[in-house]
């Protein structure tokens, strides 16, 4: 084992910088936890909780108004993209509809995790 000695003032400076970095990381993590923008939802969830039709969603895709990803023939949308549509008034719904979408999507994800854990 190797012992390194430094002045107490240098040690305190290093310790304060480490604490500053730890606070920064904690703030970033809590900010990301508040913003569910990383989640992906499918067309069914978007249509159900925003109360729009499949055709309306298709028109938005065709017009290029909404970004999406297609995986095995199924369309997925980022929650941040849905928020953008609501903010730009492309879809006229209250924020409660978006919160329902987010909450129910999180419940769905938890259910899927529980099913996989049981297997």
Token readout for 48 is 């159900």
Exposure of 13 in the CB half-sphere (CA atoms within 13 A): 5
Domain-located, residue 25: no
Please check whether residue 81 lies inside any domain of the structure: yes
C-alpha 33/C-alpha 55 separation (Å) is 33
In a domain, 96, yes or no: yes
In the chain, the number of structural domains is: 1
Write out the E strands in the chain. Answer: 40-42, 69-71, 74-78
75 forms bridges with which residues in the sheet? 70
Q: What angle do CA 34, 108, 88 make, to 5 degrees?
A: 50
Contact residues for 47 (Cβ-Cβ < 8 A; gap 6+): 53, 54, 56, 57
Does some domain include residue 29? no
Question: Domain range holding 51?
Answer: 37-118
Residue 18 lies in a domain: no
Q: What is the pLDDT of residues 33-64, one digit of tens each?
A: 555 556 888 888 888 877 888 998 999 899 99
Is residue 11 very low, low, confident or very high in pLDDT (cuts 50, 70, 90)? very high
pLDDT band at 20 (very low <50, low <70, confident <90, very high): very high
């Amino acid at each position: 084992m190797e012992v390194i000695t430094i002045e107490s003032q240098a040690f305190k400076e290093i310790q304060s910088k480490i604490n500053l970095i730890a606070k920064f990381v904690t703030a970033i993590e809590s900010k990301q936890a508040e913003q569910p923008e990383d989640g992906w939802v499918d067309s069914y969830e978007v249509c159900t909780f925003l109360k729009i039709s499949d055709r309306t969603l298709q028109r938005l895709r065709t017009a290029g108004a909404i970004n999406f990803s297609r995986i095995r023939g199924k369309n997925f949308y980022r929650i941040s993209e849905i928020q953008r549509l609501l903010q730009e008034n492309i879809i006229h719904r209250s924020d409660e509809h978006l919160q329902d979408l987010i909450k129910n999507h999180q419940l769905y994800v938890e259910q899927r995790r529980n099913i996989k854990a049981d297997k």
